[in-house]
Structure 1
């Protein structure tokens, strides 16, 4: 899809790149290192939108992007009002996956579009129900897939995401990291 302005995906995520490519968007990828800090009193389901906007503001502060569309994103996983961020190591990954085993959790993926110094943020939630995750399955998944770059310590498109998710209420792509149906709607006005 051709847009009236060059599209830059402000993310290192291979999954977000894959989603945009498969949706037919022409884009380049460029990410700026941004400290992913958020206020402690921020409601947990608003963290993804806050961080996506923070990433867009880094491009705004750097400058030179006025004639481009910048798309940034963030994904969070919540269970029992606890935010499961990217695991620091295998032990933390194992604890997260045990917490998700046999239960339903919420995945929030948010994105921000920056254009001509204007920032607009959007988010989408999907509820994911896992079947029981046996310890051996968890350990094998961590060894094989090293899910240390994924919120909640899993990818829907691999391993236990394929074999143990029993139900989804919402978008598969929101869980993968980018609610492409909403991104498409927001980029539609810029299409040639």
Structure 2
């Protein structure tokens, strides 16, 4: 199994996201959480996965001189892509409500990139999932934002929360990608890197 393959490696997850930590834990892999602040700024001409690929790699850069021979660093970034623009985390509750009104009664893409960095190599992979929202009422939006405070989530929602249960009509692609971590890609890549 993966944990056996990785026994000579030290996995570092550079993410404060409780969802990413929980999902990585579900692979029964030992890892350390290490967090450093990163100024998440990118060039305006970048689109879709170019943005998340760039930011995931940028988050790895701050650890560049700290990695040991057996370390595998995992960094990640998620955006919501809607109407040809990136939607990131809301700045406050009003911004969250505005975002959800925009996503209501339409489809959007959730794009996550995961960057794997060791002393020998760096790989960045991305996953795209299409999400369809029903027409959400103002009452539903207000209830969700007030009770769930989704300010730490791209697009101002968590599919694994109340709004996902009542608002998402269908998805095309990986569900866990929408939660914030495409676990099938993480598993496959760690499996491959463990053999190096």
TM range (shorter): over 0.9
Q: Determine helix, strand or coil for the equivalent of 2:127.
A: strand
1:152 pairs, out of 151, 155, 180, with 155
CA distance in 2, matches of 1:162, 1:119: 37
The yes-or-no answer on 1:75 pairing with 2:66 is no
Instruction: Name the structure 2 match of 1:85.
Output: 88
CA-CA distance at 1:120 after TM superposition = 1.2
Alpha-carbon displacement from aligned partner over 1:95-152 (angstroms, at most 9, x marks no partner): 1000111111000011000001522101000000011111011111111111111000
Q: Distance in 2 between matches of 1:103 and 1:187?
A: 35
Task: Determine the C-alpha separation between the residues in 1 that align with 2:62 and 2:92.
Answer: 28
Where does residue 15 of structure 1 map in the other structure? 19
Alignment-derived partner of residue 97 in structure 1: 100
Q: Name 2:139's counterpart in structure 1.
A: 136
**Counterpart selection for 1:37 from 21, 34, 41:** 41
Task: Give the structure 1 partner of residue 187 of structure 2.
Answer: 184
Structure 2: segments with no counterpart, 5+ residues: none
Aligned-pair Cα RMSD in Å: 1.3
Taking the aligned partners of 1:64 and 1:126, their CA distance within structure 2 comes to: 32
The size of the alignment, in residue pairs, is 191
> Residue 118 in 1 paired to residue 137 in 2?
no
Please, which runs of 5 or more residues in structure 1 have no aligned partner?
Answer: none
Q: Deviations over 1:14-34 (max 9, x none)?
A: 000111111222211111110
1:44 Cα deviation from its structure 2 partner: 3.1
Alignment of 1:34-73 (within 5 A): 34-60=38-64, 62-73=65-76
Contact residue 12 and residue 73 of structure 2 kept, 8 A: yes
TM-score (norm: length of structure 1): 0.95
The range that moved more, 166-175 or 1-10, is 1-10
Alignment partner of 1:47: what SS?
A: helix
* TM-score normalised by the chain length of structure 2: 0.93
Deviation of the 1:92 alpha carbon: 0.8
